[in-house]
């Protein structure tokens, strides 16, 4: 069925269709609407979820960890500083192997405080053991959320899943969207029947031990293996999802990459802008293409290397500043993934869009212009630069 929904409402609607056991609810811009919409579903009796209005995001994630360990399906939503406050517990959730689902509505991290979009919040959590799946638009935000539980709950995976969408750009903009019927969603999600849980009568369970050095490493290796196993499961779930929705998803989306010589790699809503720029350049005869990363954790390194193997120059665009002085997190991953290629393309990194700084098709065309120049001359110039900020002269 077709509808017009904002990204937040689309995720809230997915949540209503899922009817999870427990939700931790705490407001933070721009994810606030998700628990708001859901509260109305609770008030109207459309779901019978235990809706826990916690006093912080820290407690929201604590409630989710405990509820999931107790045998329930637990969900929450947050952004920015809220995700940062959960930071310690993101690791607890992953290491306890609890497939909690978190809707992250990406917003810049504070310092200075800013409510607009970039990816610094979820990128800060990229090494916490959570699967991370990013959406370009409202449809993908809805679809990714529906696929999260079947991915995370698989016994070989059993990891928490963070579905990410761009704050305001995706979360608040209203778009046409195709929704699945609730009974179809319920069948797709299935029942959650964990093998062990706190409330199981027959067999008490202890969760969250003090783990000494003779055991800790084994547990961490198991967690790492689970993250590796997640890649195949993500593709399997995508294939199942295609059967019920007709929409196809991979680890990333390749847009006009078949014969591309110049390519961008980026995440999220900017892909829409980049696709328009690619189309325009293609009309002008430029062999431009785009790789939109959907799954950042586990990182699809080998697959990405294959996708970019035929290109001459690649710009990785990071919507978060990692302060490594060596480029953003997506750049670090992508460049590392391409190291084993026999013929590596030239690569540059552009950090853009911080704190909601706009990016338009002309900006993207300029990046392709740089790539064309690099491909033609072999002169890379500065590898790691920022785009969209005013110059010192303009600021003066």
Partner 1 sequence: MSTVYNLKREVEKPVRFTGGHRLCAGCGAGIVVSGVLRALKREERAVVVNATSCLEVSTFMYPYTAYMDSYIHSAFENSAATCSGVEAAYNALKRRGKVDGTVKFITFGGDGGTYDIGLQSLSGAMDRGHDMVYVCYDNEAYMNTGIQRSSSTPHFARTTTTPVGTVGQGKKQNKKDLTEILVAHHIPYAAQTAPLGSFKDLHTKSYKAIYTKGPCFLNVLSPCPRGWDYPTEKLAEIARLAVDTCVWPLYEVEEGMWRLTYIPKKKLPVEDFLRPQGRFRHMFQPGNEWMIEEAQAYVDQKWERLLERTGV
Chain contacts with partner 1 (rule: CB under 8 A): 21-22, 24, 48-50, 52-56, 58-59, 62-72, 74, 88-89, 92, 96, 198-201, 204-212, 215
Smallest gap from residue 47 Cβ to partner 1 (A): 11
Residue nearer to partner 1 on the CB measure, 60 or 170: 60
Contact 132, 190 (CB under 8 A): no
Contact 319, 331 (CB under 8 A): no
Residue nearer to partner 1 on the CB measure, 212 or 396: 212
Smallest gap from residue 167 Cβ to partner 1 (A): 25
Identify any residues that bridge with 74 across adjacent strands, giving them in sequence order. Answer: 22
Residue nearer to partner 1 on the CB measure, 63 or 372: 63
For 31, other C-beta atoms within 10 Å of its C-beta total: 30
Nearest Cα to 346, choosing from 318, 311, 319, 317? 311
What distance in Å separates the CA atoms of residue 323 and residue 231, rounded to the nearest whole number?
28
Smallest gap from residue 25 Cβ to partner 1 (A): 11
Smallest gap from residue 126 Cβ to partner 1 (A): 21
Pairing of strands 101-106, 161-166: parallel
Contact 326, 384 (CB under 8 A): yes
Residue nearer to partner 1 on the CB measure, 56 or 389: 56
- In the chain, the N- to C-terminal Cα span, in Å, equals 53
For 359, other C-beta atoms within 10 Å of its C-beta total: 20
Residue nearer to partner 1 on the CB measure, 24 or 289: 24
Q: Is the dihedral angle over the CA atoms 206, 211, 212, 213 positive or is it negative?
A: positive
Smallest gap from residue 158 Cβ to partner 1 (A): 16
For 122, other C-beta atoms within 10 Å of its C-beta total: 30
Smallest gap from residue 197 Cβ to partner 1 (A): 8
Smallest gap from residue 264 Cβ to partner 1 (A): 40
Residue nearer to partner 1 on the CB measure, 63 or 185: 63
Residue nearer to partner 1 on the CB measure, 48 or 326: 48
> Cβ-count burial of 183 within 10 angstroms (0-12 exposed, 13-18 middle, 19+ buried)?
exposed
CB contact set of 389 (below 8 Å; sequence gap of 6+)? 357
Smallest gap from residue 193 Cβ to partner 1 (A): 9
Residue nearer to partner 1 on the CB measure, 64 or 288: 64
> Cβ-count burial of 287 within 10 angstroms (0-12 exposed, 13-18 middle, 19+ buried)?
buried
What distance in Å separates the CA atoms of residue 36 and residue 380, rounded to the nearest whole number?
49
């Amino acid at each position: 069925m077709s509808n017009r929904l904002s990204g937040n409402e689309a995720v809230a609607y997915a949540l209503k269709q899922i009817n999870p056991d427990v939700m931790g609810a705490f407001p933070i811009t721009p994810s606030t609407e998700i628990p708001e919409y859901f509260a109305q579903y609770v008030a109207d009796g459309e779901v019978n979820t235990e809706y826990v209005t916690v006093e912080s995001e820290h407690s929201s994630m604590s409630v989710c960890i405990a509820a999931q360990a107790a045998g329930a399906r637990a969900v929450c939503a947050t952004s920015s500083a809220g995700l940062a406050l959960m930071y310690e517990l993101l690791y607890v959730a992953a290491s306890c192997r609890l497939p909690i689902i978190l809707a992250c509505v990406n917003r810049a991290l504070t310092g200075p405080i800013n409510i607009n979009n970039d990816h610094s919040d979820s990128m800060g959590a990229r090494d916490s053991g959570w699967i991370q799946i990013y959406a370009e638009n409202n449809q993908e935000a809805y679809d990714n959320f529906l696929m999260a539980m079947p991915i995370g709950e698989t016994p070989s995976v059993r990891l928490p899943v963070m579905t990410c969408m761009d704050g305001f750009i995706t979360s608040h903009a209203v778009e046409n969207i195709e929704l699945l019927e609730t009974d179809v969603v319920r069948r797709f999600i299935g029942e959650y029947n964990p093998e062990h849980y706190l409330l199981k009568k027959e067999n008490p369970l202890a969760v969250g031990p003090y783990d000494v050095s003779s055991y800790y490493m084994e547990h961490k290796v198991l967690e790492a293996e689970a993250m590796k196993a997640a890649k195949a499961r993500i593709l399997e779930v995508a294939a199942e999802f295609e059967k019920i929705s007709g929409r196809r998803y991979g680890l990333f989306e390749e847009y006009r990459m078949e014969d591309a010589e110049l390519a961008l790699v980026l995440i999220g809503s900017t892909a829409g802008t980049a696709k328009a720029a690619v189309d325009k350049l293609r009309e002008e005869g430029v062999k431009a293409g785009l790789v939109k990363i959907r799954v950042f954790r586990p990182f699809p390194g080998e697959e990405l290397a294959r996708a970019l193997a035929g290109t001459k120059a690649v710009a990785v665009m990071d919507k978060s500043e990692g302060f490594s002085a060596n480029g953003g997190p997506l750049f670090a991953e992508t460049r590392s993934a391409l190291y084993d290629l026999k013929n590596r393309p030239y690569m540059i990194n552009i950090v853009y869009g911080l704190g909601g700084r706009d990016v338009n098709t002309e900006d993207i065309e300029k990046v392709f212009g740089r790539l064309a120049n690099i491909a033609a001359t072999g002169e890379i110039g500065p590898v790691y630069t920022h785009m969209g900020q005013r110059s010192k002269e303009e600021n003066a």
